[in-house]
Amino acid sequence: MNWEVIIKWLPRLAEGAMLTLELVAIAVVAGLILAIPMGIARASRHWYVRALPYGYIFFFRGTPLLVQLFLVYYGLAQFDAIRQGPLWPYLRSPYWCAILTMTLHTAAYIAEILRGAIQAVPQGEVEAARALGMSRAQTMFYIILPRAARIGLPAYSNEVILMLKASSLASTVTLLELTGMARTIIARTYLPVEIFFAAGMFYLLIAFILVRGFRVLERWLRVDACQGR
């Protein structure tokens, strides 16, 4: 193991790690915002409300992220309407394509987590809220969603870690995040084992910090206190 090389390239790898964090942070937050209406619709009692998010979730969970990324980054250029459209400056850049794809991808998974969480809210609590004269919307916002957020939080933290790992795919569309940076460095140093090892340690470190962070958040939201039925 050539430690000097690792230390020499550490700053560049850290640069890549920052981009990785940026991609993941934007994707999981935007994905969550997108997933909330989808998760609520997915838990609806009416089949026609359920159908659309179901199709979306089925497509995004059933195909690899790499395919989705290529569909957006390479695929959209096939249509003249998009190339002449106002969004083309964004859809041309790998950065925005990666963010768009990761957001759409994770939104499908988060929506499914949210559906499970909404359906796991004890029926009695919903009925109690209704009995107190809350409207359906009020019940949703004051009772069901806060409760579902706590039920779904552990699964959401898993999803964030999965997205951290999935963000390495952004290197296939020329983005220099952690994996992309590692590949660039290897192209110059020809030391794959050392550099990939260092990049792997970065991922482990980030995952470790995220796990710790979510544990603090769970304590702050008193997730365990809500588990008693």
Minimal distance in Å, beta carbon 73 to other proteins? 9
Report the distance separating Cα 82 and Cα 45, nearest Å: 37
CA 13 to chain CA centroid, Å, is 22
Contact 77, 90 (CB under 8 A): no
CB-based burial label for 195 (10 Å; 0-12, 13-18, 19+)? buried
Phi-psi region of 79 (alpha: psi -120 to 50; beta: other; left: phi over 0): beta
| Stretch binding other proteins (CB under 8 A), from 2-10, 64-72, 87-95, 147-155 | 64-72
Interface pick for other proteins out of 5, 93, 165, 189 (rule CB under 8 A): 165
62 binds other proteins (CB under 8 A): yes
Site string for other proteins, 115-154 (x = CB under 8 A): ----------------------------------------
The piece of 7-15, 62-70, 138-146, 148-156 that touches other proteins (CB under 8 A) is: 62-70
- Among residues 101, 103, 106, 171, which is the contact residue for other proteins, using CB under 8 A? 171
Query: Per CB under 8 A, does 199 bind other proteins?
Result: yes
Selected from 71, 140, 155, 226, the binder of other proteins by CB under 8 A is 71
Return d(Cα 106, Cα 69) in angstroms, integer: 13
174 backbone dihedrals φ, ψ, rounded to 5°: 70, 10
Stretch that binds other proteins, among 26-34, 83-91, 122-130, 196-204 (CB under 8 A): 196-204
**Binding flag, residue 179, other proteins (CB under 8 A):** yes
Q: Which residues bind other proteins (CB under 8 A)?
A: 58-59, 62-68, 70-71, 74-79, 161, 164-169, 171-172, 179, 182-183, 186, 192-193, 196-197, 199-200, 203-204, 207-208
